Amino acid sequence: MWQFIEKSNLIVVLTILAVSLYVLSKAADFLVDNAVKLSKAWGLSEIIIGVTIVSFGTTLPELSASIVSALQGNGDFALGNAVGSCITNTSLILGSGALFGKIPIDKKSSQKLSILIAAVALLILPTFPYKIVNNNGRIPQIMGIVFLLLIPAYVYYLILQDKDTNSIQDSKPSNTAKGSAPIIIKIFLAAFIITTSASALVSSAEVLAGRIGIPDVIISSTLVAFGTSVPELSTCIAAVKNNHGELAIGNILGANILNILLVTGASVALTPGGIEISEDFYSIHFAALVVVLLIYGIFAYNKKSNEISKREGIILILIYAIYIGANLFSTV
């Protein structure tokens, strides 16, 4: 596939990039829908479905694209996609959702933000010793394994948190194992399409970056990050329009946490020696991530409002615009 894309003209490369982004997003939605059906057929509770399958599904585009790039030895691309998606989710997507209505911030949302801040700190701080010695930072491979090991603890915490306010209703299987067979086939088919489209996405993005002279990390943290965040965007706007803003904020924060623990964790764990981090990453991407979380934290921990309104949404969108501008300026 790489050889075909590399030999193609720019129009074909752009077309492959756009089509693979679209197919990746739709295949992820298809997989989630069928996974939820299978879970209900097997009698799993809605809580388990929500904190595992749905959250995993909205993060699946970032995960598949980052894993493919990590396996191809492009750690910058994988990390840029994960961090760029966190920035995109918390600024552009959350801000866009706020334009359609107010997004309430409850105690659970604040707690999730605290978890996200802790995960980001765990991502950035261990890289500084390497930066002091070698000028470039590094996320050691062991940290990827640590992130992956933290995921079961995170899911368990969410289940316990929900038990404090809701009782888990017993779910009864709605189908037999035989009746579940078609759903399982659809899930495997969706997984195959996701893998194929992710490979095409990464290859076309890398070729595009080489053709126009832009570093892979910028392509992955902006264009690819936005494309793989489409599931969160559609979910956020639909939830806010239907007066379920708390679902929107919960999905975005949950997806961001999984972007750090799962997407970055898997990418780093699959990269021998870990992922090296250039100076530009500290000055733009890590800096933008910290600023976005800081601004959002001001909104989240403000007990007087307890919501994100249209005004705050515009501020978040402007921050994203500045982030895109910083990326473009760095290429000049």
- Of the two residues 221 and 229, the one the predictor is more confident about is 221
Instruction: Determine the pLDDT at residue 124.
Output: 94
**For position 162, what pLDDT does the model report?**
63
Please check whether residue 45 lies inside any domain of the structure.
yes
Average of per-residue pLDDT across 91-120: 86
| Lowest pLDDT segment from 4-18, 74-88, 124-138, 298-312 | 298-312
In a domain, 82, yes or no: yes
13, pLDDT greater than 60: yes
Could you tell me the residue range of the domain that residue 163 belongs to? 2-167+177-330
The rounded distance, in Å, linking the Cα atoms of 117 and 229 is 20
Output 315 or 231, whichever has higher pLDDT. 315
Q: What's 17's domain CATH number? A: 1.20.1420.30
Q: Give the chain's mean pLDDT.
A: 81
172 found inside a domain? no
In a domain, 260, yes or no: yes
294 or 4: which leads in pLDDT: 294
More confident call, 260 vs 199:
260
Q: pLDDT by residue (tens digit) across 69-93?
A: 888 888 888 898 899 989 999 999 9
For residue 313, the Cα-to-chain-centroid distance in whole angstroms is: 20
In this model, does residue 268 exceed pLDDT 90? yes
* The pLDDT of residue 167: 47
Q: What is the mean pLDDT of residues 270-277?
A: 91
* Residue 37 near residue 20 (C-beta atoms within 8 A): no
Whether residue 27 is predicted with pLDDT greater than 70 in this model: the reply is yes
Please report whether residue 16 resides in a domain: yes
Q: What is the pLDDT of residues 115-151, one digit of tens each?
A: 999 999 999 999 999 888 887 899 999 999 999 999 9
Helix orientation angle between 230-241 and 55-71, rounded to the nearest 10 degrees: 170
Q: For the chain, how many structural domains are there in total? A: 1
**Which of 15-29, 136-150, 233-247 comes out lowest in average pLDDT?**
233-247
Is this structure's pTM higher than 0.85? Answer: no
Q: What is the β-pairing status of strands 137-139 and 275-277?
A: antiparallel
Q: Is residue 211 part of a domain?
A: yes
Distance CA 12, CA 69 (A): 21
The angle formed by the CA atoms of residues 91, 94 and 100, to the nearest 5 degrees, is 130
